[in-house]
Amino acid sequence: MATGHEWRSELYQDASAQFARCADVLGLPDDLRTRLLEPRRALTVNFPVRRDDGRVENFTGYRVQHTLTMGPTKGGFRYAPGVSLGECSALAMWMTWKCALLELPYGGAKGGVRCQPRELSVGELERITRRYAAELIPVIGPDRDIPAPDMGTGEREMAWFYDTYSQSVGHSVPEIVTGKPPVLGGTAERRPATGLGVVYVIEGMMERLDTTLRDQRVVVQGFGNVGEVIASELFAIGATVVGLSDATGGIAGPDGIDVEAAGAWVAEHGGLAGFADAQGAGGGLREIDRSAVLELGCDLLIPAALERQITVENAPRLDCRMVVEAANGPTTPEADRILAGRGIQVVPDVLANAGGVCVSYFEWVQDQQKYSWDAIEIQERLRRQMRSALAKVWDAAGERDIDWRTAALTVAVRRVAEAARLRAIYP
Ligand code: NAD
């Protein structure tokens, strides 16, 4: 049996298909393809957690480290019902390419616990997080593997994770995890980092295409850590946000949605559902199905929620000029081909959402230096780093006449391949 059957999943097949296209462009030899494609380590853990009602329930968690060639591994952990070994493996691979594209000294990793966080109390989430952290101790460490937030996790979970690891080694180790609350060694601007990075990339792209952000009509799918920041920043800059959605519903507003008011509504009601109706008939908004938001007419469609949202099914109906992938893996390879055929360009996830891991890297560096940088410094460094990555992707696409995703991967994979060649094979 060929290697790798353990982590095969639809998402892993997507990531593999993208890699194969890039490996063909680079002419990578077969042995190096396998070495770079498949995850180096994967840990599966099953652990019991006491629920509030006294029942004991078993949860399954994972941590996948995709490549150990570039330094310690880095990547978030998520709490969601679909978490699996195959999903974590695909996401870990994308983290490797993202770090290489940004020239960060990390390989990629990803983890998570299969659960529905909305149905768990704060106490239950804390017990899950602490036990998951304890189970991971053999494979993580500030110089081995450094977790961070992802879907369903945030500063609160990072604080529990940091505390659990520190208790186990007997002293505080803030560098074990990034995305912590600032008072625990978190950095300025980590929370909005991914969204800000997306906006910096769009800004750079608009300059290259000789247009401005203000002229864009934008749809954002997802209104969480990433989507809300993107929508708010673009709204503040003067772009027209014509569609928004989250798990509770969608909104269409051809004349523009007041994103600040939508944010206040979500803070009070827990989701976007009901916002359009509450604005009244004069608001020009209407409630629509959350998946219909993807098909609204716009210039920039920004999926910022889940993977595999743009598929063969809806790609022929998208009504946008460009897709900017703020989420990880939102477009399937088949949908990619349809979009290319229709002249819709895709700014790939490994470039667009790399701002999160970039500022996580800044946090890790500050924790190690015991010295913190201010918000302006972080924003300037982030903007520089995102723009430099964009320039490399743009140039590679022009030189080889390839799409932006393949271009981004060629830049990243070449760097990791070169490192693997130089380190050679042990023993
Ligand atoms: P989050 O949990 O904070 O937010 C997810 C949002 O998506 C929520 O608003 C949720 O209601 C919405 N959503 C869920 N199902 C939906 C559906 N079917 N239709 C529309 N909306 C739906 O998660 P996040 O941290 O914002 O992450 C979003 C994406 O960005 C993920 O793909 C994640 O891997 C990626 N990402 C996150 C970071 C980060 O720093 N948080 C960094 C890089 C990439």
CA of 406 from ligand 1 middle (Å) equals: 24
Which member of 74, 98, 110, 180 is catalytic? 110
> Which string of DSSP letters, residue by residue, matches 165-177?
HHHHHTS--GGG-
The reply to whether 291 falls in a domain is: yes
Exposed, middle or buried: residue 112 (CB in 10 Å: 0-12, 13-18, 19+)? buried
How many structural domains does the chain have? Answer: 2
Q: Is 98 tagged catalytic?
A: no
If pLDDT is split at 50, 70 and 90, which confidence band does 1 have?
very low
Domain end call among 291, 322, 343:
343
- The pLDDT, as a whole number, for residue 49 is 98
Do 196 and 252 fall into the same domain? Answer: yes
- The pLDDT, as a whole number, for residue 202 is 98
Do 262 and 147 fall into the same domain? Answer: no
Do 165 and 233 fall into the same domain? Answer: no
C-beta of 72 in contact with ligand 1 (< 6 A): no
Determine phi and psi for 45, rounding to 5 degrees.
Answer: -130, 140
Do 44 and 167 fall into the same domain? Answer: yes
Q: Among 88, 150, 291, 349, which is best to mutate for testing ligand 1, by the most ligand atoms less than 8 A from CB?
A: 150
6, pLDDT greater than 80: no
Own/partner long-range contacts of 329-337 (Cβ < 8 Å, ≥24 apart): 329/11, 329/14, 329/15, 329/90, 329/91, 329/94, 330/221, 330/303, 330/305, 330/306, 331/303, 332/14, 332/308, 333/14, 333/17, 333/18, 335/310, 335/311, 336/403, 336/405
C-beta of 328 in contact with ligand 1 (< 6 A): yes
Do 83 and 212 fall into the same domain? Answer: no
- CATH code of the domain in which 126 resides: 3.40.50.10860
Do 160 and 216 fall into the same domain? Answer: no
Arithmetic mean of pLDDT, 8-23: 94
Domain end call among 181, 204, 232:
181
C-beta of 230 in contact with ligand 1 (< 6 A): no
Do 238 and 338 fall into the same domain? Answer: yes
The reply to whether 399 falls in a domain is: no
Give the Cα separation of 34 and 30 in Å (integer). 6
Do 197 and 162 fall into the same domain? Answer: no
The reply to whether 354 falls in a domain is: no
Arithmetic mean of pLDDT, 27-53: 96
Contact 360, 179 (CB under 8 A): yes
The reply to whether 387 falls in a domain is: no
Arithmetic mean of pLDDT, 112-138: 98
Arithmetic mean of pLDDT, 283-307: 96
3, pLDDT greater than 70: no
Query: What residue owns the CA closest to ligand 1's atom 41?
Result: 150
Do 278 and 320 fall into the same domain? Answer: yes
Do 175 and 196 fall into the same domain? Answer: no
Arithmetic mean of pLDDT, 81-89: 96
Q: Among 226, 232, 351, which is best to mutate for testing ligand 1, by the most ligand atoms less than 8 A from CB?
A: 226
The reply to whether 420 falls in a domain is: no
The pLDDT tens digits of the residues spanning 303-332 come to 999 999 999 999 999 999 999 999 999 999
CA of 222 from ligand 1 middle (Å) equals: 6
Do 175 and 210 fall into the same domain? Answer: no
Atom number in ligand 1 closest to CA 353: 43
Domain end call among 144, 160, 181:
181
4, pLDDT greater than 70: no
Query: What residue owns the CA closest to ligand 1's atom 27?
Result: 151
The reply to whether 89 falls in a domain is: yes
Q: Which domain holds residue 270?
A: 192-343
Arithmetic mean of pLDDT, 129-141: 98
Do 148 and 281 fall into the same domain? Answer: no
C-beta of 147 in contact with ligand 1 (< 6 A): no
- CATH code of the domain in which 196 resides: 3.40.50.720
C-beta of 117 in contact with ligand 1 (< 6 A): no
Query: What residue owns the CA closest to ligand 1's atom 23?
Result: 151
The reply to whether 353 falls in a domain is: no
| Cα four-point dihedral sign 192, 198, 204, 206 | negative
The reply to whether 110 falls in a domain is: yes
C-beta of 11 in contact with ligand 1 (< 6 A): no
The pLDDT tens digits of the residues spanning 49-67 come to 999 999 999 999 999 999 9
User: Average pLDDT over the chain, rounded to whole?
Assistant: 96
